[in-house]
Amino acid sequence: MPWIGCTPSTSSRPAWLESLEKLEGRFETNDAEREKRLARLLATMDAQRSEHRGQMQASAEQLAALQADFARMAGELAGVASGERDLVRLQASLAENLKILRETQQIDHALHGLTAAIHLLTARHQPAIKESRAA
């Protein structure tokens, strides 16, 4: 058992140092690989962040365009509502005019009836008037 004695032999010391150097080399290699993976991960995240920023900007532009379209549509709907109020007013005016026209036609029919009655009465009394003038 070579380790029982506290004094290390010269032949075991280089093996121990060699193992330590190999272990340090592995750690350095792993650290380098980890740094490369981390750098790739950061680059990927940066690319995704840039892409996400571009998509967000495009979405914001589309949202602004949509907002402008909604504002335009609201204005057009207000115009339609105003036109509808005008149409209701015109329909009421038309209904009033039609009512007046019906009343005028009824008065016209009544006047025709009265005129016909006056002609009949005049025709009945006219022979009596002609006889009294002849005498």
**32, two tokens:** 């380098």
Measure the CA–CA gap between 122 and 97, rounded to whole angstroms: 36
Q: What is the pLDDT of residue 43?
A: 96
Q: What is the pLDDT of residue 131?
A: 64
Per-residue pLDDT of the chain (135 residues; tens, 9 = 90+): 444 444 555 555 688 898 999 999 999 999 999 999 999 999 999 999 999 999 999 999 999 999 999 999 999 999 998 889 999 999 999 999 999 999 999 999 999 999 999 998 888 887 666 666 665
For every residue of 104-116, which 3-state class applies, written as one string?
HHHHHHHHHHHHH
Measure the CA–CA gap between 20 and 28, rounded to whole angstroms: 12
